[in-house]
Structure 1
Amino acid sequence: MGSVQKRTYAKGKPPRYIARVRVGGKEISKSFAKLGDARDWIKLREGLSPTGARMDNRMLGVVLKAHIEQSATESTRGVRTHLLANLGDLEYRKLGDVTSDDVREWRTLLAEGRPWADGKPLSNSSIRTLTGTLSAVFNDGVAQGQLPRNPVTQVRRKSPSNQAVEPHQVLRLEQVRALIDSAEEPYATMIELGATSGLRAGEMAGLRVRSVDFDRRVVDVTEQADGHHKAYGWRPLKSEKSRRTIPLPNSTLDALRAHLERHDYEPHTPLFRAAQGGQWSSAHVAKVWRGVAADAGVRNHSWHSLRHFYASALIASGASVTVVQNRLGHASAAVTLAVYSHLWPGDSEKTRAVFDNLL
């Protein structure tokens, strides 16, 4: 419970009312000229509106379910639902009781193995997505005056935004083939295109028929799907650098040509359609991936793993940092190096090459 202390001053100066309250394990205070304002501030800080209705003592899981119901797009709903399924013990913590240490422990469980998912870890990209979504929930609480601060902010500040890809995160060629063989159309063609272009899920979903130029043998990436699974819609790419033209191999062009021969799509409409004829979304791409990957026996990988496969293949072929950056649509070469620098042949490989040629 908060308290108000009346502080008096020298003759002729009106008193002040110092309101104190403990929120999220930290005491905060503020000075007011009127007693009523001090009491109202305490109620607001404790999660009480001036009418006395509690707002911040709900469990995080309950708050997140409300956010899911209010989702504007299917993509947002999918990400929030994924977060709810992976909150672990945080689901039953009150919103105002969650600390930065709690968030750090939760992220460690996601990376090292989730007890609620048979010990399976999540990829770095998935953890970043879930952390950002969780942060948005707390930001909303701060904006409404329910919380003094966002406990996720400090955790995110200390985490690198672009983490290096570990070797086990790169799909092997036989795994890519297994995924294609296990998928039905059009997802099989989408996987092949993803492996030979490095497109993000939203970019893949946002391709139009006219995006593929068979004469130039390229795919033009200019927009992404807006996340509405049933309606057609597009939005700008992640950044201006994401706009790019990617050369495609003949095998992928043949697969795309066969795909279009099976359908009578208008040039301005989506290149790929979901089962009910709607546009794909990032969330739907991820959902179908899980089933296909299970059938193919490919574990601990996501759609983004196709992007790592593409990048590693470019690097293995001798592509420069600039080429890889441009093909992936990274904002800068620094981002490319931060993620993939260890995949370029280093001094160890040069040493081996010298003696392989000598002996």
Structure 2
Amino acid sequence: MATITKRGNTYRIRTSCGYSVDGKQVVKSMTYRPREGMSERQIEKEVNKQAVLFEESCKKGQTVTAAKFETFAREWFKDYAELKLKRLTLCAYHNMEKRTYAALGHIRVDRISPLDIQKFVSTLNSDGLVPSTVKNYVRFVSVILNYAVKKRIITYNPCVTVDYPEAQEAEREFYTIEEVKKLLSLLWAADEAKRPFAVFFTLAAYLGCRKGELLGLEWKDVDFRNNVISIRRAYYYSSAEHTCYTDTPKTKRSQRSLKVPDNVMDALRALRAWQDRQRAVCGSSWVKSDRLFTKLDGSPMSTTAPYNYLQTFTKRMGLRKATVHSFRHFNASALIDAGVDVVTVQTALGHSTAATTLNIYSHAFSNAQTRAMEAIASAINF
């Protein structure tokens, strides 16, 4: 609320206009001088009116700060993002800075309009970015502008009105059961030095875990007595820092415990036996990491190793090309085909919400529902 102070023949009106980019409260003031001949009552009424108008003007934010978007964004990284966000998210946002600043960095935060955001989207589309990447860029800008709203620097976020061009998302292709069986069989028949990869893709198919979650597994996460594997961490690569690091999984729900069949536990026992032999060969040069998936010297397997090996192996064997994430899609589609409900699939995959699972695998759920209806029709048959 504005404060009014009488100073001789004038009145000083002061009000808070939110906070600057460094978090300090911004106070604005104005001076009101009554016209000659006004009565005390008229002056009182007019000065209160001016106070309300001035406060409204400040609340709308247009004069709170002249910080340009790039300046404000860098302050946001320092004062908020680096303290609150996961390292993986930070890395992704840093990778978006150059393109974003080129489009919006020169505009004052309080002057960024919905049209500016829409133009940014058009530019990204023209540059050939896929729809999901375009949305990630807008999400990056939106997070920063939401922070500006919270600090009362602006009154609304112009990103909320953005329109995205309609795009035909490519239908996801899944490995079939037969393809997975053949691939796993060939992986296990390969050179024993490549045993970690055979176990890695066995777990990928059976558990549907993300690559980083599998690479982050340690032996203490494996309960051999109860056939349970616990996902507690993930192993990532930061392109901004050019280094690998361990962090918590992608979402809170990604931390989960999964019941696994005996043959998967047997695969893990084979992997542990392989590590024991390697430890004996390396002697004092063995790196103690406790990771399931390691290099020959015991150090953690690199984040690119599974993909690189899979590409080389499938090409050599004449198999259909796949990515590490293909096994996650296979796992999800297999669960859905088996009639498993969406919440159980969500829990197994570690998605934050069931809506995420439905959105990603809507086609698989639709096919499963069609088969269910056909089964009912066949059973009733009238």
From 162, 168, 172, give the equivalent of 2:171.
Answer: 168
Residue of structure 2 in register with 1:10 after alignment: 42
Distance 1:290 1:272, change over 3 A: closer
Distance 1:13 1:273, change over 3 A: farther
Distance 1:193 1:312, change over 3 A: same
Q: Normalising by structure 1, what TM-score? A: 0.57
More helix by share: 2
* Displacement of 1:79: 1.3
Equivalent pairs, count: 308
Q: Normalising by structure 2, what TM-score? A: 0.54
From 56, 69, 93, give the equivalent of 1:80.
Answer: 93
Alignment of 1:319-334 (within 5 A): 319-330=340-351
Alignment of 1:120-139 (within 5 A): 121=130, 124=132, 130-139=137-146
From 147, 150, 156, give the equivalent of 2:157.
Answer: 150
1:220 equivalenced with 2:227 (yes/no):
no
Distance 1:227 1:58, change over 3 A: same
Distance 1:309 1:5, change over 3 A: farther
Q: Which has the higher contact order (CA 8 A, sep 6+)?
A: 1
Amino acid at match of 1:244: S
C-alpha contact (below 8 Å) 1:212/1:218 kept by paired residues: yes
Query: How far apart in 2 are the matches of 1:319 and 1:198?
Result: 14
Query: How far apart in 1 are the matches of 2:126 and 2:289?
Result: 46
Distance 1:11 1:95, change over 3 A: closer
Per-residue CA shift, 1:202-260, capped at 9, x if unaligned?
53354222222345444223x22486977976548733585231425736852773367
Alignment of 1:98-109 (within 5 A): 98-103=112-117
Distance 1:304 1:81, change over 3 A: farther
Per-residue CA shift, 1:264-307, capped at 9, x if unaligned?
59999443458998778xxx84x778867887799x99765543
Amino acid at match of 1:210: K
Query: How far apart in 1 are the matches of 2:343 and 2:156?
Result: 40
Amino acid at match of 1:169: R
Query: How far apart in 1 are the matches of 2:29 and 2:196?
Result: 64
Query: How far apart in 2 are the matches of 1:185 and 1:99?
Result: 56
Residue of structure 1 in register with 2:12 after alignment: none
RMSD of aligned alpha carbons = 5.7
Query: How far apart in 1 are the matches of 2:112 and 2:295?
Result: 39
1:257 equivalenced with 2:280 (yes/no):
no
C-alpha contact (below 8 Å) 1:169/1:305 kept by paired residues: no
C-alpha contact (below 8 Å) 1:232/1:278 kept by paired residues: no
Question: Could you say which structure has the larger radius of gyration?
Answer: 2
Alignment of 1:179-218 (within 5 A): 189-201=199-211, 203-218=213-228
Residue of structure 2 in register with 1:247 after alignment: 260
Give secondary structure in 1 for the equivalent of 2:258: strand
C-alpha contact (below 8 Å) 2:253/2:351 kept by paired residues: no
* Displacement of 1:10: 0.8
Query: How far apart in 2 are the matches of 1:58 and 1:340?
Result: 37
* Displacement of 1:59: 7.3
Per-residue CA shift, 1:98-150, capped at 9, x if unaligned?
4445545656777xxx554xx3626x4x6665554433333344455554433
Give secondary structure in 1 for the equivalent of 2:229: strand
Query: How far apart in 1 are the matches of 2:375 and 2:142?
Result: 47
* Displacement of 1:311: 0.6
Query: How far apart in 2 are the matches of 1:226 and 1:314?
Result: 26
C-alpha contact (below 8 Å) 1:311/1:324 kept by paired residues: yes
C-alpha contact (below 8 Å) 1:80/1:133 kept by paired residues: yes
- Runs (5+) with no aligned partner, structure 2: 1-27, 35-40, 188-193, 280-285
* Displacement of 1:195: 3.3
Identity %: 20
